[in-house]
Amino acid sequence: MRERVAMAYQYRLEKVGKVFGRRQIALARIDFVVQRGEKVALIGPSGAGKTSLFRILNCTLRPSSGKLWINGDEIESLHGRRLREVRRKIGTIYQQHNLVPRLKVIHNVLSGRLGRWSAFRSLASLMRPLEVELAWSALKQVGIEEKIFTRTDELSGGQQQRVAIARVLVQDPEVILADEPVSSVDPSLAASIVNLLIDIGRDTHKTLLMNLHSVDLALAYFPRVIGIKNGVALFDLSPDKIDDRLLEDLYSGHLPPSDQEKVAHAESNALAYP
């Protein structure tokens, strides 16, 4: 029987853990509640478990232990159509963009609608773009509307990241999970994109969770910041309560990740989808 609890929150996690293989512990024990419409930043060293946590939150990965409720539904009890419905309400901006490189920007953006379109309509849109207006206005919001008909693999890394954001804007989900959405843009653009996602979240009452390597952006823009290290939440506080000592604890013993590590990481994640 499906277990239901009060509906005021978006997410509730109770002792959530994730182990890959026999002993690779990505998440040890995570407990938190996120209210609907809340804006939360997650920070922490490379390998802390942030991406694994997001994959659990968007239901592409099942926890190995503990419980997760989304909108009152215990996720373990969801399968088939109900599970797809829950997934459709969650838009993810992936750390590695997950765009189709050979497609034009407009098709990547409109693929945000796939969950809602019939197969025929999705196919038709690949041949003759429907809802050009919709794609154009999402691209305008992220400042690259002039690239609408460009091939995606001809864009810079930062521009591709913005296409991934436009795709989620077109999906218009209830929850946005943004995994390092600004890692390949310059600092001033990074701030404006974080700001844009927060504004959109506020105007459309979306829940927004963002993984950030930039502590400055997390503290400047979010009312709540969770520090993740070794698969546990080291703190869960408003930014004014987060001091240098806490941040030193969070990052102690960790060097900034090299690009090579990040690529290896992305590949292992890509292979892990069930």
Q: What is the contact surface with Mg ion in residues (CB under 5 A)?
A: 50-51
Site string for ligand ATP, 79-108 (x = CB under 6 A): ----------------x-------------
The alpha carbon of residue 197 and the mean position of all alpha carbons in its chain are separated, in whole angstroms, by 11
In the complex, minimum distance from the CB of residue 142 to ligand ATP, in angstroms, rounded to a whole number: 22
Q: Which residue has the tokens 């499906």?
A: 2
Site for ligand ATP contains 265 (CB under 6 A)? yes
- Among Mg ion, ligand ATP, none, the one that 33 touches (CB under a kind-dependent 5 to 8 A) is none
Site for ligand ATP contains 20 (CB under 6 A)? yes
**Cα(244)–Cα(230) distance, rounded to whole angstroms?**
19
Q: Which residue is nearest to Mg ion (CB)?
A: 51
The answer to whether residues 215 and 43 touch, using CB atoms and an 8 Å cutoff, is yes
- Among Mg ion, ligand ATP, none, the one that 52 touches (CB under a kind-dependent 5 to 8 A) is ligand ATP
Q: What is the dihedral of CA 5, 35, 112, 218, to 10 degrees?
A: -150
DSSP letters spanning 118-186: -HHHHHHHHHS-S-HHHHHHHHHHTT-GGGTTSBGGGS-HHHHHHHHHHHHHHH--SEEEEESTTTTS-
Site for ligand ATP contains 227 (CB under 6 A)? no
Closest to ligand ATP by CB, 88 vs 262, is 262
- Among Mg ion, ligand ATP, none, the one that 24 touches (CB under a kind-dependent 5 to 8 A) is ligand ATP
In the complex, minimum distance from the CB of residue 49 to Mg ion, in angstroms, rounded to a whole number: 8
DSSP structure class, residue 89: T
**Cα(95)–Cα(78) distance, rounded to whole angstroms?**
26
Residue numbers 21-60 binding ligand ATP by CB under 6 A? 24, 26, 44, 46-52
Q: Which residues contact 200 (CB under 8 A, 6 or more apart)?
A: 141, 169, 176, 206
- Among Mg ion, ligand ATP, none, the one that 46 touches (CB under a kind-dependent 5 to 8 A) is ligand ATP
Closest to Mg ion by CB, 51 vs 207, is 51
Binding site for ligand ATP (CB under 6 A): 20, 24, 26, 44, 46-52, 95, 257, 265, 268-269, 272
